[in-house]
Amino acid sequence: MVWITEQKNTSTDSIDGMSTNASIGIVTISDRASRGDYEDRSGPAIEAWLLEVLTSPWQPERRLVPDEQPQIEAALCELSDDLKCGLIVTTGGTGPALRDITPEATQAVCHRILPGFGELMRTESLKSVPTAILSRQIAGTRGSSLIINLPGKPAAIAECLSAVFAAVPYCIDLIGGPRLETNPQVIQAFRPQAKK
């Protein structure tokens, strides 16, 4: 079962009455949070970071699922295939514990893996904690969606996203997703000159 939380538009725009908002999937993967044992803080931390960085209109598609591979895969496929989210960010389940299977679920649904994302995020996190080498987070594409795994700790979310996000908008351009614009005072998105 996939838990769906209340949605809201963080920004709106329209052309000829049609919404131009990009949809961004935010998936928290946690047995305890999905049972209601504690409040999900990681998903809201991702959303807050994106609100600070993105200047183009977007809306969140939030999901909260337990550490069960079929449910994680179902959530990722729904967000990519049905809801056409250009970006899907997961949090949780990336460590070496027996129940940590987010990378396996992500790899199972992705058409292409982008190893550089995980490599750079781990390198950045190693500046803060030696246990960053235990993280198995990956990123990849499914159709016109970019899927990025993040650790479950809210403190690591901004660190990891800040390390890789300059490349995210152009990656989404290349796979045919929605155009994302960033606040250059926070993150300067890189696009080759011909693409600007």
Yes or no: say if 150 and 157 are a contact pair by the CB < 8 Å rule: yes
Q: Has residue 3 been placed in a domain?
A: no
**Residues contacting 42, CB < 8 A, separation 6+:** 28, 30, 91, 92, 150, 152, 153, 154, 157
Whether the pLDDT of residue 159 is over 80: the answer is yes
Q: Give mean pLDDT, residues 152-181.
A: 96
Task: State how many domains the chain has.
Answer: 1
Give the model's pLDDT for residue 194. 57
CA–CA distance, 32 with 196 (Å, rounded to integer)? 44
Q: Tens digit of pLDDT for each residue in 23-56?
A: 999 999 999 999 999 999 999 999 999 999 999 9
Yes or no: say if 123 and 129 are a contact pair by the CB < 8 Å rule: no
**Could you tell me the residue range of the domain that residue 60 belongs to?**
21-195
Yes or no: say if 62 and 26 are a contact pair by the CB < 8 Å rule: yes
Q: Has residue 112 been placed in a domain?
A: yes
Q: Has residue 128 been placed in a domain?
A: yes
Q: Has residue 163 been placed in a domain?
A: yes
Whether the pLDDT of residue 3 is over 60: the answer is no
Q: Has residue 126 been placed in a domain?
A: yes
Q: Has residue 13 been placed in a domain?
A: no
Q: 58 to each of 3, 9, 26, 67, 86, how far by Cα in Å?
A: 21, 7, 12, 27, 10
Give the model's pLDDT for residue 20. 62
Q: Tens digit of pLDDT for each residue in 108-143?
A: 999 999 999 999 999 999 999 999 999 999 999 999
* CATH code assigned at 169: 3.40.980.10
